[in-house]
Amino acid sequence: MINYYTPNQPAVVLRSDLAGDLPLYLYWPKDKQTLLYSKSITELLNDGRVPKPLKVSDEGISFLLQSGVVPPPKTAYQDIYIVSIGDTANVHTVNGKVEVTFKHEFPFMNSNRLQQDEMQPDEGLILRMLAEATISCIDESKPSFLFHSAGKDSNSIALALAEAGWQDKVTLITHKSKGKADESEISAKIAKQLGFKHQVLHEVDQLQAEHKQAIENHFVKAPFPCTDNVSLAYPLYAHQQPQLKGANIIDGAGNDVYMGYIPNAAEFKRQQFSKYLKHSRFISKHFSSESLFHVAGRARAEWTGLSGLSFSDTKKILPDAYDVSDYWFEKDAIFEDFEYFDFRSMIRGCVIEPEVFQLKARNFSDSINANMVLPFANQQVASYFSKMPEQYLFDRKTLKNKLVLRNMLKDRIGLDSDALGKMGFTYDTRSLILQNWEWISNEITECDLWDQSGLVKILPRMRNSMDKKGWQAKAARSWIYRLYLISAWFNRNEYL
């Protein structure tokens, strides 16, 4: 449903649900004569009152290049905004025009949790809430798939659905990664143990014509650009498994923001030094994007998982680019008193998680007209865990997270997350780029977003850096891939 506000109506305050299950998407044009808003981005963008083609925002593209994400409420589009976790939009009339004032207040501070003697986890209640959060959002006239792995989140949902007797209504589906990161065998074993059907989706390196067509079709329909490393895996899933189109797609994302976005030991140390090293940014921003000197000037906020091209390289290919370091330094200053566990949860949980990790799944769902189901983003589930004493959720010394889920899964299905370690969802973008270089590079060079004289200098340099070792090669691969993802979206998206 599209809602609207016009001048001289009573003021309203817009906010999303607690954990961003259904963000609000706003169209607020520069003439400020109206405001449209909806919980569906596709519904909003397809509305006749939103003029097409839309225009991209130089500021938004600058953030995508340098940070990998556009921080809400801004987006990659002009005039399109997002109200998500902790955000409010105060809408009112000033001098006959619609004005919107955005504010953010992080809702999941660890200091607001109950004490250990005031609450103990109830595993039965957790499973019932997860089952209800899932089932209540499923359209039973459509097939249902749970994106499953060896991880704690998807297995908690699988266990909840199993105990609710939904084995015959949901299929577990798993990505098969290369090497030791592969989780498909563990996933298949758990699916059999719990009584679910199981399917494996395979990684494709050498793209054939039908694979390229599936990817291009995805960019036509994907509402937003997304820089997530596994973005290209998703359209190939629908090619391998056509039943995903129009289906219920269940994903385990969305709980770190209220369970604790716990850093690893290396990151925790680095962010402590950022208050000194970030002052080198006035120099480091002039280095190449593949240089470690470029990395040294990161703000504390950026150490939570933000990275990208240097401002020097960004300016060469996007002449009207913004230097995003001012934004992240301001975040550092405003939240200087936040201890790192809260600070990281705020930046990663309210910016990176919804606008990178979740966005790849939301884009995929929107592009194939599927129904996205995020049980952990459910308001009741989020409220329960946000009150839980931190002793049941994470350990500040060992830096272990989601302790209650670890214990529940080990006791009930024998899944030992401590023994498995962090596996993660990997995608071999290096191989994909090298084996499809002409296709990748053509998409980038044909994009009108970029200044060709700058691109001619940067793209061959990065391609050469990919043949080296260490950080330089890894960074070059990431930045070429990012340029491709943004270019393909801009070149093909139906809203542009």
DSSP 231: T
CATH of domain 110-259+346-420: 3.40.50.620
Q: In whole numbers, what is the pLDDT of the chain averaged over residues?
A: 94
Between 483 and 425, residue with greater pLDDT: 483
pLDDT for the residue numbered 448: 97
- Give the pLDDT band of residue 295 (cuts 50, 70, 90): confident
pTM: 0.95
CB neighbour burial string for 34-59, b if at least 16 within 10 angstroms, e if fewer = ebbbbbbbbebbebeebeeebebbbb
pLDDT for the residue numbered 424: 61
Domain boundaries, the chain: 3-104, 110-259+346-420
Question: How far is the C-alpha of 94 from the C-alpha of 92, rounded, in Å?
Answer: 7
pLDDT tens column, 165-216? 999 999 999 988 776 667 888 999 999 999 999 999 988 878 999 999 999 9
Q: Measure Cα distances from 495 to 213, 272, 355, 439 in Å.
A: 19, 43, 19, 23
Taking the mean position of all CA atoms in its chain, how far away is CA 182? 21
pLDDT tens column, 212-262? 999 999 999 999 999 999 999 999 999 999 999 999 999 999 999 999 999
Mean pLDDT of all residues in 463-482:
94
Sign, Cα dihedral of 293, 295, 300, 301: positive
Half-sphere exposure of 21 (CA within 13 A, CB side): 19
Q: Measure Cα distances from 450 to 296, 381, 486 in Å.
A: 26, 44, 10
pLDDT tens column, 331-369? 999 999 999 999 999 999 999 999 999 999 999 999 999
- Give the pLDDT band of residue 423 (cuts 50, 70, 90): low
Per the CB < 8 A criterion, the answer to whether 109 and 387 are in contact is no
- Give the pLDDT band of residue 64 (cuts 50, 70, 90): very high
Instruction: Give domain 3-104's CATH architecture.
Output: 4-Layer Sandwich (3.60)
